[in-house]
A and B are shown apart, each in its own frame.
Chain A
Amino acid sequence: MLINLQGYGHFQDGKNNQDFGFEEENMILIVDGCTECAYSESGGRMFAQLFKTLPEHDNPQKFEQNIKLTFDNIIKWLREWYKDKEDLENFIQDNLLFTIIGLFDMKDSFEVRAYGDGYIFSINQNNILSYMRLNYGKRPPYYAYNYCSKDIKELFKNYKMKSFTFPKKMFKNIGIATDGIQPIAKGIVSQVDKLIKNNGTKEETQNAIIEDHYLFYDDVTLGILNNGGK
């Protein structure tokens, strides 16, 4: 199940929905464009669609490699348009700053890989829901910084992709989400919790969010494997 809704705050401010994602049988990928960027939604949407075309895009072991390959190709193409380094960097900062989170359903485990901020949520064997927040303050370590000037690269040189392995013995199901689900994670919108725990349908969950839409400033994207994967 993958839900993608524009945040009420973004709707009021006239901003586009900056989140995007796609869902397959054994994987979910979501991207969350940086709110401060002018057109981060266009970069995020383009990246996700190109990533999907790669032959082993559903292999968590090749996730980082696939991200690099996609970005390399996008930047290579952009260099034809932006000959000047500064212009290219400005374009990157306007369009390509977004969080990338991937969820993979493996035989004995759920694998999560993340670049940037967002949420991972889990349902343990006691049917208890937990929200884990990947939070890096106002400047999350976006992957596109690798293509920026040395000063920016230096800031994030110690950051490495976050990898999580959730054993199926301990967890019934795992989901990923953008930071727009904060009102759900904080327990303000508790109806969604119940639906996630009880395998609620996409429509039911979406309606529960829309019911309290005014509470969600940021765009909301959440993906959870159907029926706990395989």
Chain B
Amino acid sequence: MGKFLNSIFGPKDNDVIYVPQKTVNPEDSKKEVTQNQKLEETIKSINAQKKVDDMTKKVEKEEINKESIEAPKVETKNDNIETEKKPYFFKETLHKTLTILLIEDSKEMYEFNKEIVELSKRAVGDNLAIIIHYGKEIENPGLYYPGQVDEDALICLNEKGTSLCFYDAIIHLETIVDGSVFHIVEGKTKKYEIENVEIVGFSTGIDNISKSTIKEAYEAFKKISEKTKVTNKCFCISEDNFISLASIGFHSIGRIKTNFE
């Protein structure tokens, strides 16, 4: 799970990495001019080769990073590549809350987009955040736009056209929550230790033919609610959604729009 979080929050290719270099004594070079010339040529050829290697590695890494955001997996080969490149300079460790936004992508929910944005911003604050969109076929992955939130800390896991229903999303949520507390996320210049996890759902609790069963979803949510450092709440459209959300076990359930109309 830690590797999964690193794959989405991990260092990007702009990271500054300190590489120690060798020094050459000038007196020795006078004595062995011809040898030095040969050496220089060799170094030049090595450097040229190194540049080519670096460029290839950079391109490969960019592709790998792109893939890891487009299709997140719990454990991938990319994680091993990420962990090999450790920065040598000191990184300050900050304690953070990870906010996971679980957002239903449906026409009914889209009508409350403005309220969802407001509530999400309030919930995320300066936390790290992950958005899980779900719906029969996701049409509006930008239902919540990060806005003022630091985009490095915010990852949208699903893209247009993907399909993830309510119960599937709960199971997906459990895989993210599992092991994320006390996990250290490597940022560009800082490290973030996840102290707490806060789940904020925007859902009607209605399932549109998930691959997972309702029992699996219940069990997954039970695991989530048993974790002491994890809190959860869910906003829905109307009181009609209360029972389905309560049956899953969301701790705090309320309407997105509170004023009576």
- Taking the closest CB of chain A, its distance from the CB of B119, in whole angstroms, is 13
In the assembled complex, A101 has its CB within 8 A of some CB on chain B: no
Question: What residues on B are CB-neighbors of A162 within 8 Å?
Answer: 239
Residue from B218, B239, B243, B252 within 8 A of A134 (CB atoms) = B239
Q: Mark A123-166, 1 if CB is under 8 A from B, else 0.
A: 01110111111111101110000000000000110110010111
Q: Is B87 an interface residue when CB atoms closer than 8 A count as contact?
A: no
**CB distance B253 to A131 under 8 Å?**
yes
Chain B positions within 8 Å of A166 at CB level: 243, 246
- Least Cβ distance of B231 to chain A in Å? 6
Q: A105 to chain B: closest CB distance in Å?
A: 17
Q: Is the CB of A185 within 8 A of B252?
A: yes
Cβ–Cβ contact A126 & B253, under 8 A:
no
Decide: A133 and B249 in contact? CB cutoff 8 A: no
Structural contact, A128 and B222, CB atoms closer than 8 A? yes
Q: B218 to A156, Cβ gap below 8 A?
A: no
Alpha-carbon gap, A166 to B248, bound state (A): 13
Interchain nearest-CB distance for B197 vs A (Å):
14
Partner of B243 from A155, A164, A185, A186 at Cβ < 8 Å: A164
A-B contact count (CB 8 A): 73
A93-143 residues at the B interface, CB under 8 angstroms: 120, 122, 124-126, 128-137, 139-141
Say whether B242 contacts A128, CB under 8 Å.
no
In this assembly, does B251 line the interface, its C-beta being within 8 Å of a C-beta of chain A?
yes
Q: Is the CB of A132 within 8 A of B218?
A: no
Q: Is B221 an interface residue when CB atoms closer than 8 A count as contact?
A: yes
Q: Which residue of chain B is the closest to A129 with respect to CB atoms?
A: B251
B203-224 Cβ-contact flags toward A at 8 Å (1 or 0): 0000000000000001101100
Partner of A130, one of B231, B253, B261: B253
Q: Which of A126, A131, A132 has the most CB of B within 10 A?
A: A132
Q: Give the contacting residue for A186; candidates B218, B225, B252, B255; CB below 8 A.
A: B252
| Pick from B239, B251, B253, B260: contact of A187, CB under 8 Å | B251
A187 touches B231 (CB 8 A): yes
Q: Are A171 and B247 in contact (CB under 8 A)?
A: yes
A69 interface residue, CB < 8 Å from B?
Answer: no
Task: Tell me the B224-261 residues at the A interface (CB within 8 Å).
Answer: 225, 231, 239, 242-243, 245-255, 258-261
B242 touching A136, Cβ below 8 Å: no
Q: Which of A122, A139, A140, A187 contacts B246 (CB 8 A)?
A: A122
Which bracket fits the contact residues of B?
20 to 34
**Is A50 at the interface (CB under 8 A from chain B)?**
no
Find residues 29-82 in chain A having any chain B CB closer than 8 Å to their own CB.
none
A126 touches B249 (CB 8 A): yes
Provide the residues of chain B in CB contact with A158, threshold 8 Å. Answer: 261
Which chain B residue lies CB-closest to A174? B246
Residues of B within 8 A of A187 (CB): 231, 251-252
> Across the interface, which residues of B come within 8 angstroms of A135, CB to CB?
254-255, 258
Which residues of chain A come closer than 8 Å to B249, judged between CB atoms? 124, 126, 128, 130
Complex Cα–Cα for A166 and B243 (A): 7
Contact of A133 among B218, B221, B252 (CB under 8 A): B252
Cα of A128 to Cα of B231 in the assembled complex, Å: 13
Please measure, in the bound complex, the distance between the C-alpha atom of A187 and the C-alpha atom of B225, giving whole angstroms: 13
Please name all residues of chain A whose beta carbon is closer than 8 Å to the beta carbon of B258 when the two chains form the complex: 135-137
Question: What are 28 A-to-B residue pairs whose CB atoms are below 8 Å?
Answer: A122-B246, A124-B248, A126-B218, A126-B222, A126-B225, A126-B249, A128-B221, A128-B249, A128-B251, A130-B245, A130-B249, A131-B251, A132-B246, A133-B252, A133-B253, A135-B254, A135-B258, A137-B258, A140-B260, A141-B260, A155-B260, A156-B260, A159-B260, A164-B243, A165-B243, A166-B246, A171-B246, A187-B251
Residues of A within 8 A of B (CB): 120, 122, 124-126, 128-137, 139-141, 155-156, 158-159, 162, 164-166, 170-171, 185-187
Apart from the given pairs A125-B218, A135-B258, A166-B243, 7 other A-B contacts in the complex at a CB distance below 8 Å? A124-B246, A124-B248, A128-B221, A130-B252, A132-B254, A133-B253, A137-B259
Report the 8 A-B pairs with minimum CB-CB distance, sorted nearest first. Answer: A128-B249, A136-B260, A130-B246, A137-B259, A133-B254, A132-B242, A135-B258, A126-B222
